[in-house]
Amino acid sequence: MLLLLVTACLPPILLDTGMVSDTGTTDDSADTSDSGDPIDDADSDGYLAGPASTDDCDDNNPAVHPGAEEVLDWVDGDCDGSVIEAAQDYAEHGLFTEVGFISEVAAFPPGDDRVAAGFPSVNAVRITSTVDLADGSIDGGKDITYGAGTAFGFDVLSFDLDTDTHADLLIGDPSYGAYWIVPDDTIDGAGSAIAAENLDILYATGGSIGFAAAQVGDRLAITVSSPSTTVYLLELEDVEGVGGAVERGVPVNSDSLVDGFGASLAALDLNGDGVGELIAGAPGGARGAVYVFDGTLVASEVASLTTDDAEATWTGEVSGSPIGGQTLGAGQINDDGYADVFIASYVTDADLPRTFYTMLGAERPASGAAASVAMSSVTDIQGFTADAVVNFPSADAADLDGDFKAELVIGSPGESPGRLYVFSGDMLGGPGTFTGADAPVGIQGQDPDDNFGEVVTLAGLGQANPMALVAAPGQSGGVFWSFPLAF
């Protein structure tokens, strides 16, 4: 079997059923403190209210008491005095070990609780569900493997190839220089394994692909490096059941040959017109940039596009901490009807911090009004480190508490051990500066140098078992954790 499921051994939790009196009898009704004041178990959870670490810190909530099962929310569920919890407190929810480097985890669309995790060190992608992860089981999972691959699974994209509302997969191997197309009927078909040798592939005739792709309406955007980079836009109907060379698509080029244009791609409807915009990162240079191309323009019958056609350009704020290496779709931060974007910087100077920026879609220039937007006008979250300063940070975002504002979940693998921080949507709606210490909730990794937080994905949203999935490639030969969400 590709992956080995283990469950950490935790000490047993003793649930009090009442207080033992001086005569040795049990009294479930009440007791008194040293001062003579009554101490009750108002929520009947077997723990009495009080200030000690062994007492119930919220006697109105039976789910909160010492030894309670922790979930990722704003509550100190086990009364240990902190919402920054240890990863091992969640071990009963299942984790995979000895999986090597985990590069990408793609969540299937809302309404489907499955995820596809890429393990390029073993040239495989595992499809499993949050239900299986919550039960501590991987039964029913399916592996997609490629025997001749060198980094198969480096990039994994969930998209809708044939617009039938069922998820298809695009799996990249940049060393091999190709994307494999996995249609939904193959994903849902019989058997527990899929051989990539039997799948259609997309390739580049003059460069390499497999590291950046996004679905923009009825087009697929794929970046080709050769040695400068070009993003090609392909009609989905021309890809289905065919594969082939990506250069037959519409080229989108940068005016620069060294800016790394297309290193990251995303698609979000930033102006509320129902058509997604193409967002392309260019991390080359001291500050980097992110370009926004209007969705209507991307969908039009044009022969080619350049960065001069972008309706907005977001430039980095700090020299040596460029943006554009990773662009994150964030949903709606402020419930104004416009999608908003999280943009991450990386650092080329070890003395500079990583920074996450939130850019509100409504604040970008109107369609057709090309303009540059300074990152200093938006919320920024600073101070995240990495074991190597060239590593890109990882994060995901979604409305976790039902207030129509997206929360931001950030991995900080460079801490020892690594950490996961959750910032509420209320913190992200306008200008302001925060650090990891301002996060209301988080999880700390288990071992020093485990790189916990290297990959972060939220999955199964709207389902019975929503999960935060977090990679710790430095722990036990590579560990893939799952944490329950309960906002």
Residue 467 lies in a domain: yes
With 70 as the cut, is the pLDDT of residue 408 above it? Answer: yes
Average pLDDT over residues 34-55: 74
Residue 318 lies in a domain: yes
Q: Pseudo-torsion of CA 77, 81, 87, 88, nearest 10°?
A: -80
Report the CATH number that the domain containing residue 312 is assigned in CATH.
Answer: 2.130.10.130
pLDDT one-digit tens code per residue, 103-141 = 888 888 888 888 898 889 889 998 988 877 776 655 557
Domain count of the fold of the chain: 2
> What pTM was estimated for this model as a whole?
0.81
pLDDT one-digit tens code per residue, 176-221 = 999 999 999 999 988 889 999 999 999 999 889 999 999 999 999 9
| Gyration radius from the chain CA atoms | 24
Residue 416 lies in a domain: yes
- Binned at pLDDT 50, 70 and 90, residue 385 comes out as low
Average pLDDT over residues 140-150: 85
Residue 428 lies in a domain: yes
pLDDT of residue 3: 36
Residue 240 lies in a domain: no
In percent, how much of the chain has pLDDT > 70? 79
Q: With 0-12 CB in 10 A as exposed, 13-18 as middle and 19+ as buried, what is 25?
A: exposed
Residue 360 lies in a domain: yes
CB 281 within 8 A of CB 262: yes
Least confident of 75-79, 269-273, 368-372: 368-372
- Domain residue limits at 52: 16-68
With 60 as the cut, is the pLDDT of residue 330 above it? Answer: yes
Residue 204 lies in a domain: no
Highest mean pLDDT: which range of 84-88, 132-136, 153-157, 368-372: 153-157
pLDDT of residue 54: 81
Count CB neighbours of 69 within 10 A.
14
Show the tokens assigned to 347.
């650092």
d(C-alpha 341, C-alpha 229), whole Å: 23
Residue 37 lies in a domain: yes
Can you tell me whether residue 254 is helix, strand or coil?
Answer: coil
Whether the ω angle into residue 417 lies within 30 degrees of 0, i.e. cis, is yes
Least confident of 9-18, 147-156, 213-222, 310-319: 9-18
